[in-house]
Chain A
Amino acid sequence: DAGITQSPRHKVTETGTPVTLRCHQTENHRYMYWYRQDPGHGLRLIHYSYGVKDTDKGEVSDGYSVSRSKTEDFLLTLESATSSQTSVYFCAISSLPGAQETQYFGPGTRLLVL
């Protein structure tokens, strides 16, 4: 298994509070991704990173921000959580651009926004 951990694994929070999810990898892979998974939608890309301090938006980036100050860590922040952000969040990594090899996924974080 690729060395990817996510924390926390489960979180319950209230509407309007900020939330930060962490993805940590031990593979020294350059590319990191945040997805959310919702029934009927598959996985949708929120943000991704192609290097330290280099990030870009995915298809559902509104309400989310990211930061990557070290190769191994990619943080996802919900600036003011809403109930529509209740979801399962997956981090993924790859050593080459997505076209060249598969992405490896972390265990996921289940987030409930009340």
Chain B
Amino acid sequence: ELKVEQNPLFLSMQEGKNYTIYCNYSTTSDRLYWYRQDPGKSLESLFVLLSNGAVKQEGRLMASLDTKARLSTLHITAAVHDLSATYFCAAIIQGAQKLVFGQGTRLTINP
């Protein structure tokens, strides 16, 4: 059974600092997704990581995938207040059309 765990679950940080959110998954999965959710809103797709070693960047966010370690990271560089949100990772169940989500990381960036 595929399980996906994120840490930390809550993260409060200052503007200008760097930090990383970790996403571990328990069984083989070669696709990893990152989403962002603002309070009371829907989920917005950030990144789709399709292979081992994949790295994608958009602005101050960079995501990477290590399928051997079953680990994905979302790195935040020089955080700004607008990045405050909840971030979810999700892994695909091999051979199925199903995503399994992590619990989410609530990120608060303080001035």
Chain A contact residues, CB within 8 Å of chain B: 31, 35, 40-45, 48, 50, 58-59, 90, 97-99, 101-108
Contacts and interface: CB of A to CB of B under 8 A. Distances in A.
A50 B88 contact: no
Given A105-B42, A107-B42, A108-B42, A99 B97 contact: yes
Interface of B: 4, 30-31, 33, 35, 41-45, 48, 88, 90, 92, 96-104
Contacts of B30: 99
Nearest to B29: A99
A43 B88 contact: yes
B97 A98 contact: yes
Given A58-B98, A99-B92, A104 B45 contact: yes
- Per CB-CB distance, the 4 closest pairs between chain A and chain B, nearest first, are A42-B101, A102-B45, A105-B43, A43-B101
